[in-house]
Amino acid sequence: MIDISTAVIDFGLIAPEISLVAAAFIILIIGYTKRLGKFCALTALLGIFVSFYYTLIQYGNPGSGFSGMVTSDDFGVVFRMIFLVTALLTILIAQNYLSLKRLNKPEFYALICFSTMGMMVMANSTDLVVMFLGLEIMSVPLYVMAGFARRNLASNESGIKYFIMGAFASAFLLMGIAFIFGASGTTDLKRIIADLSYLSEFSHFYFYSGIAMILIGFGFKVGVVPFHSWVPDVYQGAPTPITAFFSVGPKAAGFAVLLRVFSFGFAEVEILEPTFWVLAVVTMTVGNVLALRQNNIKRMLAYSSIAHAGYILIALTAGGIEGVSSAVFYLIAYALFNFGAFTVIIMMESRSGGTTEFSELKGLLKVHPYLTSILALFMFALAGFPPTVGFIGKFYIFSAALKNGFIWLTLIGVMNSFISVYYYLRVIKVSCFEDSDSEFAPMSMTPALMFVLFITILGTLGLGIFPDQILEFSKTALFAFL
Amino acid sequence: MTVPIDAYLVVGAGLFGIGVIGVLVSRNLIILLMSVELMLNAANLALIAFSRALNLMDGHAFVFLVLTIAAAEASVGLAMVITLYRNHDTVNIDRFSILKW
C-alpha cells in the first residue's frame, strides 16, 4: 500500500513537463487576444527551451518521486531531448506552411506542447498507470492535429481514422494493464519483475494475456505490421508538418516504452523473443514491398516509416545493452534524416498548386541543384548509404543482432535495405532525370526552413562521420537503469 | 455469498469482445465510438474486480483516471464526427474513402 505521508513531492522531477504545460496554457490564453496573438509560436519555443534546460539538469542525476510514479533516469532524459527537438523543428517548419494553408491558429502550438509533454511522461514512466496516462496525453492532441485542416476532406478522414484506431489500441492496452495488475498485484514495472517468479498457475494465464494485449496496443501505436493499416492513410491525409511530427515523435515515444517494458521489464519472458523476431521480419518486408508502388511521396514515406519500425524491432529482438543502445541511436538518426526529407517536401508543397505526388519533383535539378542534392542526401540516409548516419545506425543494429546470434534476422534485414534502395532512389531519379511539362513555380524558402535543413544536414552527415559521441551517450544512458 | 472474481472477469471479457466486434463490424461512426467506450469500461470492470480480489486500492484509483481519459477521448471523437458530418452529410465510414483504407 502507498503511504501518503512519506510520498516525496519533488517538482524538480517534473519541471520539464510543467514548463511545457505552462507554455501551452499561456498560448491558449493569449492566442485570441489582439495584441499578444502573434506571439504564440514564440511562447511555444520559449516553453520548449525552458523544458530543455530542466531536462538537461536531470542528466546524470537519476531520481524518483511521487511514490515511485515518476522516475527520472538518463534513458528518459535522452528520449525527452529527442521529443523536444522534434517539437522545436515541427514548429519551425510549420510556420510558413500553416499561413499558406490558412491554418495558422494558436491551438496548433498548444497541441504540440501538450502532445510533447505526454511523450515525455511516457518515456520517463516506470509505472504502467503513468505510462498509459502519458500515452493518452500524447494521443488525444495528435488526433486533433491529424484533422487540423477542418475544411479539408482528406485531413478529416485522416483524423477520424487515427482516432478510431488509436482509441481501439488504447482499450487493448488498458485491458492488458488490468490483466497484468491482476496477475502481479502491482503496476510498478520494477515490482512486477521481482514478482515474476512467484506467479501461480492462475495468474500465469492473466499475465501472458496481459502481455499480448499490451503488445497489440503498442503495436498499433508504432505501426507494427499486422496493425499498420492506419499509418499510410493518416500520414497522407494530415497536414505535412504534422505528418513529420507523427513520423518521429510518437514513434520514438512508443519505442521508448516498448524498450522499457519489454527489454527491461519483461526481458525474462521467453516467448517474447520469437514474437519480436516474426514481427520484425513481417514489418520490414511488408513496409518495404508496399512502399515500392506508391505515387505519393508522403504515402511512400509512411510505408518507409513502417519499414524503419521493423529495423528497430530487430534491435529489440537482439535485446541486451547493444540492442537497446542501437535502437536509441537509430531513433535519433531517423528523427534527423526523416525530418530533413519532410522539410524538402514541405518546400515543394508550399508552391502554388503544389502537391505531394512524385511528379511534383520533375525538373527540380535544373531549377534548384542544391536542394536536389540535399534531398538526395536524405534519401541516401533513409536507404542507409555511408557516410550518412543512416548507414551507421543500421550497422549498429545489424551488428547487435549478429552479436546475439540472430544471423537469419540480420540477413533478412540487409536484404530489406536493398529493396528499399529502389524506391528511395526513385525520388532522386524523378527529380534529376525527368523534365517538368510546365513552368516550375517558385519555391518559398524562409529562414526557418533553411535553419531546419541546416540542422538536419549537420546531424545526418556529422553523426554519420563522427558517431562515437552520440553512441557513447546512448550507451551510458542505459547503465543508469540496468 | 460473494460473487467469485471469475464471474466479473467473464462479464468484462464479454463486454470487451462485444466492443471489439462492434468496432470491426459497424459502419456507423457513432456506434464505433460507443463500442470503443464499451471496451474501456470492460477494462475498468476488470480493474475493479482484480482490485477487490487482491484487496488493493490501486485499481480503484486507476479507474478514476481512466474515466477522465475516456471522457476526453469521447469529446474529441464527437467533435470530429460533427466536422465530418458537416463536410460529408453522413457518418457512414464507407463514404470516407478519399484515402485508400
The per-residue DSSP string of A418-446 comes to: HHHHHHHHHHHHHHHH---SS--PPPP--
With CB atoms and an 8 Å threshold, state whether B62 touches A187: yes
With CB atoms and an 8 Å threshold, state whether A187 touches B36: no
Res A2 pLDDT > 70? no
For the segment B25-46, the average pLDDT, to the nearest whole number, is: 92
Res A94 pLDDT > 80? yes
Selected residue of A165, A175, A195, A294 to mutate for chain B interface (largest B Cβ count, 10 A): A175
Rounded to the nearest integer, the mean pLDDT of chain A is 88
Q: Report the CATH number at residue B90.
A: 1.10.287.3510
pTM above threshold 0.90: yes
Binding-site residues on chain A for chain B (CB distance < 8 A): 1-2, 129, 132-133, 136, 140, 143-144, 147, 150-151, 153-154, 156-161, 163-164, 167-168, 170-172, 174-175, 177-179, 181-182, 185-187, 229, 232-233, 236-237
Q: What percentage of chain A exceeds 70 in pLDDT?
A: 95
In-domain check, residue B26: yes
**B96: nearest CB among A144, A160, A229:** A160
pLDDT band at A84 (very low <50, low <70, confident <90, very high): very high
pLDDT band at A7 (very low <50, low <70, confident <90, very high): low
With CB atoms and an 8 Å threshold, state whether B87 touches A232: no
For the segment B13-29, the average pLDDT, to the nearest whole number, is: 92
SS3 B7: helix
Closest-CA residue of A relative to B55 is A185
Can you give the residue range of the structural domain that contains B88? Answer: 5-95
pLDDT for position A1:
47
With CB atoms and an 8 Å threshold, state whether A181 touches B57: no
In-domain check, residue B100: no
Smallest CA–CA distance, residue A219 to chain B, in Å, is 16
**A160: nearest CB among B39, B54, B84:** B84
Res B101 pLDDT > 70? no
Res A476 pLDDT > 80? no
pLDDT for position A21:
95
CA A415 to the chain's CA centroid: 24
In-domain check, residue B101: no
Count of CB atoms situated within 10 Å of the CB of A61: 13
Residue A394, all three cell numbers = 543500421
For the segment A141-168, the average pLDDT, to the nearest whole number, is: 91
pLDDT digits (tens, 9 = 90+) for A191-207: 877 766 666 666 788 88
pLDDT digits (tens, 9 = 90+) for A247-298: 999 999 999 999 888 877 776 777 888 899 999 999 999 999 999 988 899 9
SS3 A64: strand
Closest-CA residue of A relative to B68 is A133
In-domain check, residue B45: yes
With CB atoms and an 8 Å threshold, state whether B58 touches A150: no
Q: How far apart are CA A416 and CA A10, in angstroms?
A: 47
pLDDT digits (tens, 9 = 90+) for A292-322: 988 899 999 999 999 999 999 999 998 778 8
Res A412 pLDDT > 90? yes
**A150: nearest CB among B40, B83, B88:** B83
pLDDT for position B71:
93
Selected residue of B6, B31, B73 to mutate for chain A interface (largest A Cβ count, 10 A): B73
Residue A459, all three cell numbers = 546531424
Residue A356, all three cell numbers = 505531394
Residue with cell 501538450: A114
Answer yes or no: are the C-beta atoms of A328 and A476 closer than 8 Å: no
Res A32 pLDDT > 70? yes
More confident residue, A166 or A64: A166
Answer yes or no: are the C-beta atoms of A389 and A337 closer than 8 Å: yes
Answer yes or no: are the C-beta atoms of A463 and A377 closer than 8 Å: no
pLDDT digits (tens, 9 = 90+) for B47-95: 999 998 888 888 889 999 999 999 999 999 999 999 999 988 888 888 7
Which chain B residues have a beta carbon less than 8 Å from that of A187?
Answer: 58, 62
With CB atoms and an 8 Å threshold, state whether B39 touches A129: no
With CB atoms and an 8 Å threshold, state whether B58 touches A186: yes
The DSSP letter of residue A4 is G
Which chain A residues have a beta carbon less than 8 Å from that of B29?
Answer: 160
Distances in whole angstroms, Cα of residue A156 to Cα of each of A78, A149, A220, B97 = 34, 7, 20, 11
CA A19 to the chain's CA centroid: 21
pLDDT digits (tens, 9 = 90+) for A441-475: 777 788 889 999 999 999 999 888 888 877 777 77
For the segment A217-239, the average pLDDT, to the nearest whole number, is: 91
Residue with cell 525552458: A50
pLDDT for position A65:
79
Which chain B residues have a beta carbon less than 8 Å from that of A185?
Answer: 54, 56
Q: Based on the structure, what is the number of domains in chain B?
A: 1
Q: What percentage of chain A exceeds 90 in pLDDT?
A: 53
Helices marked H in A185-271 — which ranges? 189-195, 201-222, 230-237, 240-258
Smallest CA–CA distance, residue B4 to chain A, in Å, is 14
Domain boundaries, chain A: 271-482
More confident residue, A353 or B37: B37
